[in-house]
Amino acid sequence: MNSEVSEFVDARVGPRGSLENLSQGELDKLLDSGQGGLYPLFRRCALAVLNSGAATDDAKEIFDRHRDFEIQIVRHPWGVKLEMQHAPAAAFVDGQMIRGIKEHLFAVLRDVVYISNEIMDSDRFDLSDSASITNAVFHILRNARLLEHKARPSLVVCWGGHSISSREYQYTKNVGYELGLRGLDVCTGCGPGAMKGPMKGATIGHAKQRIHHGRYIGVTEPGIIAAEPPNAIVTHLAILPDIEKRLEAFVRLGHGIVVFPGGAGTAEEVLYLTGVLLDPANREQPFPIVLTGPRESAAYFEQIVRFIADTLGPDAVRRLHVIVDDPPEVARRMVRGMDAVREFRRKASDSYNFNWLLAVRPQFQQPFEVSHASMRALDLKRGQPVHELAANLRRAFSGIVTGNVKEAGIKAIEAQGPYELAGDPAIMGPLDELLAAFVAQQRMRLPGTVYKPVYRLVG
């Protein structure tokens, strides 16, 4: 390995974890920078993984800073290697790539190839059909070996912001520790902040209980991975094609969900989950949900709950349980919830590791293509089924996340100005209040940076 400057290195690494062999067709597609080629996508995701731990959540800034980064697949008689120029030096220790980062790098290669060849470009899946989309999510997770765990329900999905205060981050670690002491595993969006803290805490809890095979699952997607690169604790990484399939993966993998303080992305996840559970077909589904944080964050959850009550009604609020400043009780609540999930799945003869019985409707599955026109056209009005309103509110927050941290969204905002959102005053008022609170609390961008709104409420 050569080091041109201390900040960048050139390196060649062999595979670890998955996908040691590629066909000639797969290699050709990976090396193709043109339309239909996978190289631009693979390069972006690989750079994001190598940039783990960076102190920025601006995807455009990351890609601009590393514009000279190149990665090539080199074939050998015994398999493939990855050859890199101008790679971030922080991914290496004494000339060797950190093992966890190497595993993530080859997980990216595995998923990019599999999704292209077996999901998007094959005739196996009709991605306009709801059941077929769920089947595709299942196959992606199975290919990533996330479904091999054959034990009673134990997986807690943890959501929350990647740019949270030190007090909130410590709290996520405390909750993870209590989960680990009780033998529960952790799945997150795999990035920093509230996605790393629970995993870090769980490793200590597992160690104290001599649990040697604890699971730390990370689920991400190409549009968000640069702003939230996988943290090194993640032992099982899966990259889904888009945010909707990522969210479906969470709710089908997980047996319960803990929500920590966050911003627009966390609100999007809560609205997705609430909308899915408001579907009458899911009325009997046990799915423990806890919103939790330190005492200093109590106002954040009060705002979230008030917003959901004002827009989606009391039935939505009844599915949420708020616990303030009590990590052991959060873990105990999850344990009790797991028992109910296990009994429900057992009686229904449903899988413990993939929730087939949960109904996820097309409005929660079809990718929302964020643009100025699509944001302005969102139906944010009363008079529609409440789970459909939740789906549209989820799309609104997805657009805000896109404008905040995704490269394409940042460029669109620079060119055309903020996205516009319009709707009933009864919806727009609470939305305005919630977004303003996020901005005031610096939950839209890393602390210490100035936030320029990417949205404008016009009705």
Every domain of the chain and the residues it spans:
2-124, 137-348, 362-457
For residue 124, how many other CB atoms are within 10 A of its CB? 11
The C-alpha atoms of residue 175 and residue 371 are separated, in whole angstroms, by 38
> Which residues contact residue 106 at a Cβ distance below 8 angstroms, ignoring those fewer than 6 apart?
15, 16, 17, 18, 19, 82
Exposure pattern of 87-99 as b/e (b: 16+ CB <10 Å)?
A: bbbebbeeeebbe
CA-angle at 328, arms to 323 and 331, nearest 5°: 80
DSSP 171: H
| Strand-pair category, 70-76 with 79-88 | antiparallel
The label of the residue with tokens 């669109």 reads: 412
Q: Is 269 helix (H, G, I), strand (E, B) or coil?
A: helix
CB 247 within 8 Å of CB 371: no
The C-alpha atoms of residue 53 and residue 51 are separated, in whole angstroms, by 6
The C-alpha atoms of residue 203 and residue 6 are separated, in whole angstroms, by 32
Q: pLDDT tens, 434-450?
A: 988 888 887 876 656 67
| Helix-then-strand count for the chain, H and E | 16, 15
Residue 5 is predicted with a pLDDT of 46
From 45, 37, 183, 55, select the one nearest 116 (Cα to Cα): 37
| 86 torsion bin: left (phi>0), alpha (psi -120 to 50), beta (else) | left
Residue 108 C-alpha from the chain's centroid? 15
Whole-Å CA distances, 433 to 34, 257, 291, 440: 44, 25, 19, 11
CATH number for the region 137-348 comes to: 3.40.50.450
What does the block give as tokens for 245? 């399939």
Fold of 2-124: MCP/YpsA-like (3.30.1850)
pTM of the full structure? 0.89
The C-alpha atoms of residue 43 and residue 108 are separated, in whole angstroms, by 10
Q: pLDDT tens, 105-157?
A: 888 888 988 998 889 888 889 999 999 999 999 999 999 999 988 889 999 99
Residue 324 is predicted with a pLDDT of 97
Residue 239 C-alpha from the chain's centroid? 9
The C-alpha atoms of residue 43 and residue 104 are separated, in whole angstroms, by 13
> Which residues contact residue 107 at a Cβ distance below 8 angstroms, ignoring those fewer than 6 apart?
17, 18, 144, 237, 238, 239
> Which residues contact residue 30 at a Cβ distance below 8 angstroms, ignoring those fewer than 6 apart?
22, 37, 38, 39, 42, 73, 109, 112, 113
pLDDT tens, N- to C-terminus, the chain (459 residues): 444 445 888 888 876 655 556 677 777 777 776 666 788 888 888 888 888 866 665 666 777 787 888 888 887 766 678 888 888 888 899 888 898 898 898 888 889 889 988 898 888 899 999 999 999 999 999 999 999 888 899 999 999 988 889 999 999 999 999 999 999 999 999 888 999 999 999 999 999 999 999 999 999 998 888 777 888 899 999 999 999 999 999 999 999 999 999 988 899 999 999 999 999 999 899 999 999 999 999 989 999 999 999 999 999 999 999 999 999 999 999 999 999 999 999 999 999 999 999 999 999 999 999 999 999 999 999 889 999 999 999 999 999 989 987 888 989 999 999 999 999 999 999 999 998 888 888 787 665 667 788 889 886
Exposure pattern of 285-321 as b/e (b: 16+ CB <10 Å)?
A: bebbbbbbbbeebeebbebbbebbbbbbeeebbebbe
For residue 3, how many other CB atoms are within 10 A of its CB? 13
